[in-house]
Structure 1
Amino acid sequence: MELSSQRITLSPFDETDKALFIEFCMCPETMKHVYAPFTYAEAVTAFEIKSQPWTLESKAWLSLSISSLGTGEKLGHIGLKIINHEAKIAEVGYMIKQGAQGKGFAAEALNLVKGYGFEELHLNKLTATCSVHNTGSFKLLEKIGFIREGCLQQNSLIDKRYVDDYVYGICQPTIVEA
């Protein structure tokens, strides 16, 4: 499985994604809105879990690498996890490396995953959760069409501090027949 736009390609994690994933997991600046940075061993274990083969019935993440179509450079990763198989609801999450932020790569990746989720997987809804302090992330979700559905107080524990999170959702567009 591979998804692509004019500038990027998304493909399932493989060993070439390990270094960037570990870098993300161990970087305090990158992780400040997500969770406390991992140790190297924790990051390696997390990568092994996230890079497992995925099927529609999986309870794990479909983890995709975001790469530049022109250069092959690894720009980040994005994932999708079905959290309610019966209601066809999946959560999405993404990380873009510092040098690639603000250039539209995350928006392209999120649009590709949204299209894949609705058109190929026939999901009903996508959700996302982000810290109220992660302005870049929640502005991106809103730009793509996600609706802020609420604020969960003290929902996450990041570096021994409770953080409020926004919850976002976007539903499968319904086609109204005339």
Structure 2
Amino acid sequence: MQITIDQELSLRTVAVEDAHAVFALTDASREYLREWLPWLDFTKVVADSRAYIESCIAGYEAKSSLSLVIIFRNEIVGIAGFNAINPSNKIAAIGYWLSKDAQGHGIMTKTVKALMHYAFEELQLNKVEIRAAAGNVKSRAIPERLNFTTEGTIRAAEWLYDHYVDHVVYGMLAKEWQK
């Protein structure tokens, strides 16, 4: 699957062939990403990225998730998609990360907007959620910029290496998106 956002930006289903590029990107942004993402210490070699991608492909085939590489100016710069899709309740949870060098181009706002369109128009979902660590100002800016509703805070929602972080939960309903 591929989603073209503009001349410089597109999304496509992550493939096993992306393992080296995804690992290189992860490794180059390791310290930057580690501040908010709990999986960096488990991604030490290309095989770890390959195993992650294989699990993404299995999730896509099971229709329980969708992971896409973000391609900006013909290079993979991050991953975004639906970490979980619940077809019975018509809800999906968006997750995303972007390399440090790709920041400041509006990439993630455009990416999430495209994912919202796909969720509501193609998947016919009723709700999309985004959860972000309370202190992760850059990540929280995305749903806030796109007029998501702040639904609450989950205390101690995630263990981040040596401490817990709270998550702020944002939600958007299909009827709100269509406005």
Q: Could you tell which deviates more after superposition, 107-116 or 34-43? A: 34-43
Indicate conservation of the 8 Å contact 2:32/2:100, yes or no.
no
Between stretches 27-36 and 140-149, larger displacement belongs to 27-36
Q: What's the counterpart of residue 9 of structure 1? A: 10
Instruction: Classify the secondary structure of the residue corresponding to 1:173.
Output: helix
* Alpha-carbon distance, 1:24 to partner: 5.5
Map of 1:93-172 to 2, 5 A cutoff? 93-172=95-174
Letter in 1 for 2:63: S
TM-score, normalised to structure 2's length?
A: 0.85
Partner of 1:29: 32
TM-score, reference length from structure 1: 0.86
Do 1:82 and 1:88's aligned partners in 2 also have CA atoms closer than 8 Å? no
Moved more, 76-85 or 88-97: 76-85
RMSD over aligned Cα, in angstroms? 2.2
Matched to 1:28, the amino acid is E
Between Structure 1 and Structure 2, how many residues are aligned?
Answer: 172
Compute the displacement of 1:124 (Å). Answer: 0.3
Does structure 1 retain, via aligned residues, the 8 Å contact 2:78–2:96? yes
Q: Structure 1 pair 52/122, CA: closer, same or farther in 2 (3 Å)? A: same
Q: Which runs of 5+ in 1 are unaligned?
A: none
Measure how far apart 1:8 and its partner are: 0.9
Give the fraction of aligned pairs with identical amino acids, expressed as a percent: 26
Aligned to 1:63: 67
CA distance in 2, matches of 1:159, 1:75: 24
For 1:45, the equivalent position in structure 2 comes to 51
Alpha carbons 2:16, 2:53 under 8 Å: kept: no
Deviation readout 1:110-162 (Å, 9 max, x if unpaired): 11110000001100000011111110010111101222111111110011211
Q: In the TM superposition, what whole-angstrom CA distance separates every residue of 1:6-63 from its partner, at most 9, and x where no partner exists?
A: 23111101234323432465513213212142232544322221234725x522x211
Give every structure 1 segment of 4 or more consecutive aligned residues whose post-TM-superposition deviation is greater than 3 Å: 23-26, 41-44
Alignment-mate amino acid for residue 11 of structure 1: R
